[in-house]
Each structure stands twice: as C-alpha cells, then as structure tokens.
Amino acid sequence: MTHQNPAASDPLAIDGGAPVIDRPLNRYKGAAAIGEQEKQAVMEVLESQSLFRYYGPNLLSKVAHFEQEFARFVGARHAAAASNGTAALRMGLAALGVGPGDEVIVPAVTFIASVGAIVASRARPVFAEVDETMQLDPADLPKRLTKRTKAIMPVHLNGVAVDMDPVLDFARSHGLKVIEDAAQSCGSRYKGKAVGTLGDVGCFSFQLEKNITSGEGGVLVTDDDELFRRAVIYSDQGGQFWTSHAGVRDTVGGQPVIGENLRMNEIAGAILGCQLAKLNEILNRIERNTTIVREGVETIPGLQVGPRNPDRDRHALGVLFYLPTAEQADAVAAALRAEGVPAGKVYGGQPVYAAPQILNQWTITRGCPFDCPSYFPEPIQYHMGMCPRSEDLLARGVGISVGPFYEEEDLDGIIAGVEKVARHLL
C-alpha cells in the first residue's frame, strides 16, 4: 500500500524510515496496454502462416497496413517499417547518403543508439550541448559546424520536442540534412506538428519501453519520395533481388544497391496496428499524469523546475528539476528512490560520450570513421568537458519518470515523496 502525507517528523526511507511508496509502479506505456486485440491480431498472423511481410500462403499485410496508418497518424507521406529503432536510424542515414568523410551533429544527452547508428554508417558523431530541457541546444550548432558536417540528428528525448525551428533554419542555411531521432517521443508534437515529420526523415522505436511497442520494432517517416525509396531498398537487401518463392521483388523501383535486411515481421506489424489505435489514449494519459506531478512539485521550495512549454512538452514522460549542486542532486535522487519515487539522474548524470567505447573510439573493425585518413585526414578526439554545460545540467538534474498507467495514488505518492525529501534535504 502507499502511505500518503507522511508526517513532518517521519524519517527518510534512506535513513530507515517507511517509504512513501512501497511497491513498484507500472512504468510501462504501450506494453501495459497489451490486451485482447493484440492477442487476436497475433493469432491471425500465426493462423495465416504468413509471418513474412512480402509473401506467404495467406499474406495479411499487417506491416503494410501499419505503415499506412502510422504515416496518416503523424501526417507524413511515407512510412517504412524497420526491425527496430536503430535500424530505422541506419535506413535514414543511408537514405540521406551519410557515410565516410561526413560528420553528424548529435546531442551530448541521448541513448547510445543515436551514436551507434552514425558510427555504423561510417560517419563521425560530433557532440553538441543540450539546453535545460535536456534537448539539443540550437544555439550551440554554429560551434560544432565544420566543412564535413552533413547532417544534424536532433533527439526528442523522453517525450519532449527539440526546439526545431532554429535547428531547421540552421540546417537550411548550411545545406545540412536533418534526421530526427524520435525513438522516445512517438506521438509528441512540436508546435502542433508530430515530431519526426519536421526534418528530412524521422525515426521511431517500438522497443518495450516506448509509447507503443512490439518488443522490437521501428519505423522511418519522410515526405520525400526518393528518400523513402532509398530507405526501403536499403532495408530490403538493397532492392530487386530474386526470392525463392516470389521471383524478383522490387517494391519501389529504381536502381538497386547492396543493402541489408532491416525489415519488420508480420507479428510485430500486427501488434503495432493494435497499439497505434491506443496511442491517442496513451498520450492523453501521459499529458494528464505529467501535469499532475508537475503541478504538485513545481511549488516545492528548493527545486528548480523549468518553465512549461506546451509547444514542446505536452507529452513529456516525466518532470525534470535542478538542484544547485551535483552533491545535492545525488542526495535527492538517492533519497527519492528510497521513498519509492521513480527518480534518478538523466542517463546516470553522464553525457553519452562518457561511455568508454565512445571516448576511446572502440569499434568492432578498423577503418572509417575513426581510422581512415583518406576520408578523414585528421583524427577526432573525444574527451570529458566537450559539452560543459550539458555535463553541468546532467550533474545537477533529477528526473521523475511518469507513466500513463500510474494510478491516482501513485501520483499522490510521488508528490508526497518529493515533498518529504525536499523538507529533509533542501
């Protein structure tokens, strides 16, 4: 059970007191909404014995339907399904022609997959600062621009949209491409427009943590016919190849290339069709729950919660606040967790480039992008301190995760837990 309104004298749970919330909260989003529809859709696919998206004894075309519905949902001309979000990023980078000799600007705060996809494309990631919303700071772009910059990868983290207008202005004025990593923000909007539809291509993930899920899955969206064609052929073994059952498959035409298999299967497509029908409800719940937590904690003295910006944070999957020092942030985060509040430092308080494999440029093979003088005559050095403002914000920031399926008493418990910790520590 959850204890509400702890007395002022109650000791902190971290000091041996009773926690405000004494059970794990249901942090899942789409996964928590899986029900009869998904079961039935999966059974249909199994019964059809047609688990592959392009042919089978009784093909139901679940992936193709999902692509159409997803494109309609976000308001894009095209959607190309992928085996996961990282695959969608790879397809987007391939479609944009990003490769050896190119640099891609990526925020210092993101999941390592954004960086991995760039390196797998044999291009170099260049890290840029985030602002106090923990999103790419457009004001830092000029500092990161070089003659090799080919693209910018804004990452819409945790349901919040990057401030895209200045990013797009900067990209246009320097002839750069924009690939949006919207993996964590399916359905979020920037000034009313779906994230992922603002740049040249947008990429989404349907991994288990995401707003809608098939366990693994991804999709790329674009309004550009040629980028779509390139993304599709790259993901389908390069396009135009002989299959043992269906002759030559050529879904989008044009010249084939040597590609990979980054396709989605029909089971994932079937599940995602059902999940997409639930996305609006999930987004409404996210908005409601985050608003309750935000309004509950923003008046607590000692916490610096950033200003609300409905053009960007309507579907934020949590509330972020800052403490004056890193030590206070560590202490508050630890005390909140002990109270059962789902809180912590964003990505452990470290920029993505703090990962030793990035700092040390450990790749699985030699060659581009770090070891290929013909494309990149100069080495690139990564080191802590590359994005000092982001490092400071990460050190002092504490995020509370909010899920669409938290119960009323969970939301009350979170607010009571933050009040209790603030009363003791701030």
Ligand X SMILES: Cc1ncc(COP(=O)(O)O)c(C=O)c1O
Q: Is 235 helix (H, G, I), strand (E, B) or coil?
A: helix
Nearest approach in angstroms of CB 14 to ligand X is: 29
Which one, 163 or 410, has the nearer CB to ligand X? 163
CB nearer ligand X, residue 234 or residue 376: 234
| CB closer to ligand X, 114 vs 237 | 114
Smallest separation (angstroms) from ligand X to the CB of 311: 21
Q: Applying CB under 6 A, what is the total number of residues that bind ligand X?
A: 14
Which CB atom, from 41 or from 182, has the smaller least distance to ligand X? 182
Question: How far apart are CB 410 and ligand X at their closest, in Å?
Answer: 23
Q: Which is nearer to ligand X, 162 or 303 (CB)?
A: 162
Tokens of 300: 């607590």
Binding segment for ligand X (CB under 6 A), chosen from 41-49, 79-87, 222-230, 373-381, is 79-87
Distance CA 191, CA 165 (A): 10
* DSSP states of 274-340: HHHHHHHHHHHHHHHHHHHHHHHHTTSTT-EEPPP-HHHHTT-SEEEEE-SSHHHHHHHHHHHHHTT
Residue with the CB atom nearest ligand X in the bound state? 85
Q: For residue 85, state whether it binds ligand X (rule: CB under 6 A).
A: yes
Binding residue for ligand X (CB under 6 A) from 155, 168, 176, 331? 155
Nearer to ligand X, 111 or 321 (CB): 111
Minimal distance in Å, beta carbon 403 to ligand X? Answer: 16
Interacting residues with ligand X between 99 and 118 (CB under 6 A): 110-111, 113-114
Q: Binding marks (x or -) toward ligand X, 35..74, rule CB under 6 A?
A: ----------------------------------------
Who contacts 292 (Cβ-Cβ below 8 Å, separation ≥6)?
411, 415
Instruction: Please report how the helices 85-95 and 112-120 are oriented relative to each other, as an axis angle in degrees rounded to 10.
Output: 40
Q: Is 399 in the site for ligand X (CB under 6 A)?
A: no
Q: Which residue lies nearer to ligand X by CB, 140 or 181?
A: 181
What residues numbered 319-358 form the site for ligand X, per CB under 6 A?
none
Q: What's the min distance (Å) between Cβ of 83 and ligand X?
A: 8
Least distance to ligand X, CB of residue 204, Å: 8
Rounded CA gap, 359 and 376, in Å? 18
Return the H-helix or E-strand segment holding 80. strand 78-82
What six digits make up the tokens of 163?
């401030």
From 41-49, 179-187, 233-241, 381-389, give the range in contact with ligand X by CB under 6 A.
179-187
Using the minimum distance from each CB to ligand X, give the nearer residue, 2 or 235: 235
CB of residue 82 vs ligand X: minimum separation in angstroms? 8
Bond before 369 cis per omega within 30 degrees: yes
Rg of the Cα trace of the chain? Answer: 23
Sign of the dihedral defined by the CA atoms of residues 271, 272, 277, 279, in that order? positive
Cβ contact 287:315 at 8 Å:
yes
CA dihedral 313, 317, 319, 325 (to 10 degrees): -110
CB of residue 230 to ligand X, shortest distance in Å: 20
Token representation of residue 84: 């996961």
Q: Which residues, 193 to 252, sit near ligand X by CB under 6 A? A: 205, 207, 218
Binding residue for ligand X, selected from 86, 121, 222, 237, defined by CB under 6 A: 86
Separation CA 350–CA 219 (nearest Å) = 28
Among 137, 181, 236, 412, which residue interacts with ligand X (rule: CB under 6 A)? Answer: 181
Compute the least distance from the CB of residue 80 to ligand X, in Å. Answer: 15
Among the listed residues 126, 179, 183, 323, the single contact to ligand X using CB under 6 A: 183
Neighbours of 244 (CB within 10 A): 5
The tokens describing 8, both together, are 């002022």
Q: How far is CA 277 from CA 188, 209, 266, 272, in A?
A: 15, 18, 17, 9
Return residues touching ligand X (CB under 6 A).
84-86, 110-111, 113-114, 155, 181, 183-184, 205, 207, 218
